[in-house]
Structure 1
Amino acid sequence: MGKVRNILEAKGRSVYSIHPDNTVFEALQMLVERNVGALTVVDNNDKFLGIFSERDYARRVILKGRASKETLIREIMTERPITVTEEDSIEECMKRMTDKRIRHLPVVNEQSRLIGLISIGDVVKFIIDDQRYIITSLECYISGTHT
């Protein structure tokens, strides 16, 4: 099975981030503009502080009766989220996401610097593509058309 590095090589390492002093409303606008479900939260020095997701919005803003235009990201973000490295296996990512019921995993390097973000969709796509490759290879082998 592949590693997180394989997903990042395929999708790229771009990460959409927001500052903790931005409002939830501004974060929601960015989620819509970028068509993503989560943003990493970084300070002025690009230090990774946490993650803001649609789930944070639903649970910590809407259900608490808070106002999106007045609530700051720092007040509702998930601090110290579960992270992975480039060398973690896709299988381990799927296990963590399933066990913790999360949909996004920030990818950090040895110095804990943010270098990417993977979603459950990225993991599932990788698994499907990998299985498709294995099936095609086996079909070619069985039919004698492999090279």
Structure 2
Amino acid sequence: MGFLKCQTEIIIIINKYKKKFLYIITSMLTSRFLQKSRCFSTLKMPVSALNVFQNSCYHKIDFKINEDKSAKEAVTRFTAFNVGCLAVTDSTDKVVGVCSERDFITKVASLGKDYEVMKVKDICTYGPKIIIAKKEDSLETCMSKMMFKDIRHLLVIDEKNEEFIGMISIKDLIKEIMKEKNETITRLSDFSLGKGAFFGSE
């Protein structure tokens, strides 16, 4: 999967012989296709938003940024961690919003504003507008939320304790779906070779 190997959002398809542009595939289009093509699961336990976060790059980095930091600092972290979104915190370190590359492009870069002067709180998305995933949400639920709002990241929360847990990206979901599909192929192959008495057996 090109998106996962190259860490990019789009892939441009060309005819290498005629050097002619054919079309563009985006990570969002790919995720829509994978979501529609999932007919059954071979995983022993359903994959939840919490599981996805635990396997995500976000689980290994400090992806929070204070709302009073400069937009330049946000860009520095986007680049350093190779991520497209950060969780925004207030003075008490409580997560209150999100700041994405899209926020920076539309509210700073495209308007020619000084990213050293602009603050994260000037460009981030706060409160009710944020789409979240409960830690027990399934892959399908997380994907549907992203598709519905055309977003690429979700904050993961523990609804019972109102506790912020982490963040997941659309690439994380694609990785999990591809992992599931590969397991499906392996199990079907084993079954066809007589290695399992029934589908999904060990």
The TM-score with structure 1 as length reference comes to 0.92
- Worse overlay, 4-13 or 116-125: 4-13
- Per the TM alignment, residue 8 of structure 1 is displaced from its structure 2 partner at its CA by 2.4
Percent of aligned positions that are identical: 33
Are 2:161 and 1:107 equivalent residues in the alignment? Answer: no
Deviation >4 Å, runs of 4+: none
Shift in Å, 1:45: 2.0
Q: Deviations for 1:86-134, whole angstroms, at most 9, x for unmatched residues?
A: 1011101111111111000010112332211000000000001011111
Select the structure with the greater relative contact order (CA < 8 A; seq sep ≥ 6). 1
SS at match of 1:63: helix
Q: Which residue of 2 aligns with 1:132?
A: 182
More strand by share: 2
**Residue ranges of structure 1 left out of the alignment (5+ in a row):** none
Please list the CA deviations of residues 46-101 of structure 1 after superposition, one character each: whole Å capped at 9, or x if unmatched.
21110111000011111222110100000110112101111011101111111111
Counterpart position of 1:142: 192
TM-score (ref. length: structure 2)? 0.68
Q: What RMSD in Å do the two structures reach over aligned CA positions?
A: 1.5
Pair member with larger Rg: 2
Select the residue among 41, 52, 55 that pairs with 2:102: 55
TM superposition shift of 1:4: 0.9
Q: Does 1:20 align with 2:67?
A: yes
Query: Residue 30 of structure 1: which of 51, 59, 77 is its match?
Result: 77
* Residue segments in structure 2 that go unaligned for 5+ positions in a row: 1-45, 197-201
Whether the 8 Å contact between 1:48 and 1:113 is mirrored in structure 2 is: no
Residue 66 of structure 2 corresponds to residue 9 of structure 1: no
One-letter amino acid of the structure 2 residue matched with residue 13 of structure 1: H
